[in-house]
């Protein structure tokens, strides 16, 4: 052995999980609407990139998935907002 240690293949997942946990704690303690919205969008991006493995995909595929997700969210919001008024 040369004395060097291999990094865990799960290191990126643990770091992402730690960041998500820290963001959740900050969002709970400082619950302002702007912070919550920014935090939700950032957490969704982290989850998509790391846990859905889109950070290793081609850019056009990742953008297609992001666009489909946003459009689905808008349609669902539009369907719910009609009942809110």
The DSSP line for 20-55 is: HHHHHHHHHHT--HHHHHHHHHHHHHHIIIIIS-GG
Query: Using CA atoms, how far apart are residues 79 and 77, in angstroms rounded to an integer?
Result: 5
Half-sphere exposure (Cβ direction) of 31: Cα atoms closer than 13 Å: 2
pTM over 0.85: no
DSSP state at residue 30: T
How far is Cα 11 from Cα 60, in angstroms, rounded to an integer? 27
Indicate the pLDDT class of residue 3, thresholds 50, 70 and 90: low
Residue 1 pLDDT > 70: no
Interval 8-64: pLDDT, tens: 889 999 999 999 999 999 999 998 988 888 888 889 888 988 888 888 888 898 888
């Amino acid at each position: 052995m040369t004395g060097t240690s291999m990094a865990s293949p799960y290191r990126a997942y643990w770091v992402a999980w730690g960041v998500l946990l820290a963001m959740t704690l900050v969002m709970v303690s400082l619950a302002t609407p702007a912070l919550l919205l920014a935090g939700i969008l950032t957490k969704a991006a982290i989850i998509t990139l790391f846990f859905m493995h889109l950070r290793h995909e081609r850019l056009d595929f990742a953008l297609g998935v992001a666009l489909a997700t946003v459009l689905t969210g808008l349609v669902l919001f539009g369907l719910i907002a009609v009942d809110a008024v």
